[in-house]
Homo-oligomer: A and B are copies of this chain.
């Protein structure tokens, strides 16, 4: 493109596209602590996402305390065992299922940092809350990836009232995404996805892209 920030004038654009194409769900993280300034940069990126009417109705609880991480792990494991596991068993391949099972029953709590991304209903029309908070959570994961950190976008534990209680969330604040962050235990290849042509249409549904 010839515009500002385009290929020729800003090679950072190409680097960014590569990063968008290589984000993975990291279910194995090293226990090494994540420096405070790196976490600050993740949060800064998250708060630069768009939101409806620029209301910025996000809130983040950055959990490093071991007991709280263990409690979040228990809450996720409980949600996993009471329904999600069975649901996933039918849908995931054997290898991915085993990975997710290990993660949901212990791996999550071993992440050195768990960031709980919340929506603040006092700052948003309820109809816009999801559209205003999930992009911020995605920015958080992408910033982690940019810094060489692994992360994962999970909603598993968010439906449990135990999570809100444990974090002391007021009634107008709802947990929406749980993002464990840490150094990746291993390098992961870029993800494979269904081809664009299987999901895109031209001008009208049914006309092939």
Interface of A toward B, CB cutoff 8 Å: 1-7, 9-23, 25, 34-35, 38, 40-41, 43-45, 47-50, 52-56, 58-65, 68, 87-88, 91-92, 96, 125, 127-128, 130-131, 134-135, 137-139, 141-143, 145-150, 152-153, 155, 159, 167-170, 173, 176-177, 183-184, 187, 190-191, 193-194, 196, 199-206, 209
Contact = CB atoms under 8 A, between A and B. Distances in A.
B200 A145 contact: no
Given A21-B44, A196-B43, A92 B146 contact: no
A26 to B, nearest CB: 10
A53 B88 contact: yes
24 contacts: A1-B34, A1-B147, A3-B147, A4-B148, A7-B147, A12-B15, A12-B16, A13-B15, A16-B146, A40-B196, A50-B138, A60-B199, A60-B201, A61-B200, A61-B203, A62-B200, A64-B203, A127-B155, A127-B159, A130-B134, A134-B134, A134-B138, A138-B139, A173-B205
A20 B131 contact: no
Contact of A50 (B13, B16, B141, B203): B141
The listed residue with most B CB atoms (<10 A of its CB), out of A43, A48, A87, is: A48
B17 A143 contact: yes
Secondary structure at the A interface, as helix, strand, loop or mixed, is mixed
A154 to B, nearest CB: 9
Contact of A183 (B1, B34, B127): B1
A14 B4 CA distance: 18
Contacts of A139: 20, 138
B138 A202 contact: no
